[in-house]
Chain A
Amino acid sequence: MSLWLTLAVNSFGLGGLLFLLSSGFSLIFGLMRIPNLMHGSFFMLGAYFGVTLLDRGVNFWVAAIGAGLLTALIGGLIERFLLRRLEGQVLPQVLLTLGFAFIIGDVCLMVWTGDPWQPATPAHLAGAVQVAGLFFPLYRLVILAVAVVVAIALWIMVDWTRLGAMIRAGVDDPPIARVVGIRVSQLFTLVFSLGAALAAFAGVMGAPYLSVYPGLDFEMLPLALIVVILGGTGSLLGALVGSFIIGFLYNFGQAMFPDLAYVILFLPMLLVLVLRPQGLFGKVVT
């Protein structure tokens, strides 16, 4: 009984992490129609920045936010100077982001070597909480809480603020949005940087239990893809639900069919594609 409960808590933890990762992807893909194949690389790069800062004795939250800001800067520069010129051209965007994914992966290998880094869970977040006689790992619950806070913040930002309204206007009709004085290109750089920052932040949050190693980038990228395909493109709620489905499947799959855990992850995606190709919460594009 307690094994299943532990698995469930771990699943919520992984689901929260996946949401932090895929909400950034969903934001960039849903709003800007850019298939950002360096999203996994942002995750890994952020994680490496984070462990380096932690290694210098920086506070965990400062390290996580600092890594997010650094990665946002890199993502913003790539968007501003290169991706911007390829607006609306899918294949060139794919090649450019894929090219950067390879470069970032190789630079990380050069700088941080091939050995895995695993920072200790910060002391005040380690340990377990006791509820009704059962122990739950505190850190997983913290990730879940952070994910929920981020989800609510993103939802408020996109749906309820002036900034969100401007972004949506820029997406729906860029020329008109520009005419009424919205700086669409600046907003897009901002959205892209925010997506990169979320991935990097997720990377630091995940580092204490996933550890950071070469190849992490292309392991996380498909996870972001399947969450977005599962939940429906551009839907934050879809990304949230998709993340928890994948989180549960991974942990329970790992416990029951260890050899096949990675494959089981893709089953809901396949089902959704066959039965509901627009995703669970996606809108039909007409």
Chain B
Amino acid sequence: MSAVSGLLAPRTAAIAMAVLLLLVLPLWVGNAYYVNIASQILFFAVFALALNVLVGYGGLTSLGHAGLFAMAGYTAALLLARGHGHLVADTAALLVTVATAAVYAVLSLRATGIGFLMITLAIGQILWGIAYRWASLTNGDNGVNVSSRPMPFGLDLSGADGFYYLCLVVFLACVGSMAVVVRSPFGASLRGTRDQERRMAALGYDVWLIRFWAFLLSGFWSGVAGLLFLYYNQFISPQVVALTTSAEALLMVIAGGTATLLGPIVGAALVVIMKNVVSAYIVRWNMVLGIIFILIVSFMPEGLVPGSARLWAWARHRLRHGKPKPAAPGPVAAPPASGGKEGVR
């Protein structure tokens, strides 16, 4: 007994419990509606984790990731509509998305800080323009339908449960690969370029190349998330490429707390649940999204998880001593991603 508990460190045990809960989720949730929401959380978490590679670990805030997400979806949808098989369409979609990420990287890595953000935003809007205006290719505002989900190894994914398990497998693969990357020498050097760009260059690291590879990794997983999104909805339209999607993904990353693995997952869950709850009562999702952005910036600039802890500690202190600590609930320190590194290189 003691040998077993010695093997299971608390952290490992917590992860094992979480995976187990996720594995049996369709059994205890039961209702297909909620299983579908769980699927959404999983593939948006993959998207948020992908964006977090750049925002959290690379210190590069992209506002154009909807372009990568939708590039995979559109490529696959258009190939499927032209009669190609799922395997061909999905492989091609991922290749095209990674190639697009390379183009993004070559252009946007000319700058850091605001410059990087503006360039990714502009490229994202180009792709939106293609999806919306180049109607002969993309069917414009009407979008593209996908008639069926794939059946890998003869497994049926048309139901809510089957699709949930597909999302879960992809999600676990993504989290696993992220954990490996973050702990690898590459992950360390990526964080190095975020915190000490000049020192890394002086040490002989190719800062540009490290960021380039990070962008490709981010693009790949964004593409995977985009494919799951396409198969989940079996439909894609220019709305997916809109700035709102990029902003939502950024919200997921920042709401949970950047530069952690858990943060974007929590953020994705929060945003998806909130979006579903809010949409049930009011139609003003964009306004809610905007208000959340402003509240987070004003009160919890470091993310919800660390931010709640700080506010809680502050409130307790205040209750006991009646006076606020000097470091009151205002924005104390910016998250590392924002550290005043601005301007075009």
Contact = CB atoms under 8 A, between A and B. Distances in A.
A2 B335 CA distance: 57
Interface string A122-147: 00000000000000000000000000
Interface in B280-297: 284, 286-287, 289-294, 296-297
A95 B291 contact: no
A229 interface: yes
A277 B296 CA distance: 33
Contacts of A89: 301, 331, 334, 338, 340
A225 B122 contact: yes
B117 A259 contact: no
B113 A266 contact: no
B101 interface: no
A105 B293 CA distance: 15
Contact of B117 (A35, A105, A110, A279): A35
Contacts of B130: 262-263
Interface in A76-135: 82, 85-86, 88-92, 94-96, 98-103, 105-107, 110
Given A89-B334, A89-B340, A95-B297, A102 B118 contact: no
B298 interface: yes
A33 B342 CA distance: 9
A96 B126 CA distance: 24
Interface in A229-270: 229, 233, 259-263, 265-266, 269-270
Given A35-B118, A229-B122, A218 B242 contact: yes
B261 interface: no
Contact of A82 (B132, B291, B294): B294
A107 B287 contact: yes
Given A89-B334, A277-B111, A95 B133 contact: no
A3 interface: no
Given A85-B330, A99-B290, A91 B335 contact: yes
Interface in B116-157: 117-119, 121-123, 125-126, 129-130, 132-137
Contacts of A279: 344
Given A221-B125, A262-B129, 7 more contacts: A33-B342, A90-B340, A92-B334, A103-B287, A273-B110, A277-B345, A285-B345
B244 interface: yes
Interface of A: 29, 33, 35, 37, 82, 85-86, 88-92, 94-96, 98-103, 105-107, 110, 218, 221-222, 225-226, 228-229, 233, 259-263, 265-266, 269-270, 273-274, 277-279, 282, 285
Nearest to B340: A88
Contact of A259 (B111, B134, B291, B345): B134
A226 B293 contact: no
Contacts of A86: 297, 331
B61 A91 contact: yes
Contacts of B129: 262-263, 265-266
Contact of B110 (A82, A222, A277, A282): A277
13 contacts: A33-B114, A35-B117, A89-B338, A91-B254, A94-B117, A99-B289, A103-B294, A106-B287, A221-B121, A222-B125, A259-B134, A259-B135, A263-B126
B27 interface: no
A218 B63 CA distance: 13
A262 B114 CA distance: 23
Interface in B291-345: 291-294, 296-298, 301, 330-331, 334-335, 337-338, 340-345
A106 B286 CA distance: 6
A259 B135 CA distance: 7
B107 interface: yes
B247 interface: yes
Contacts of B111: 277
B122 A226 contact: yes
A90 B133 contact: no
Contact of A99 (B121, B134, B294): B294
A131 to B, nearest CB: 34
Contacts of B117: 35, 90, 94
B121 A225 contact: yes
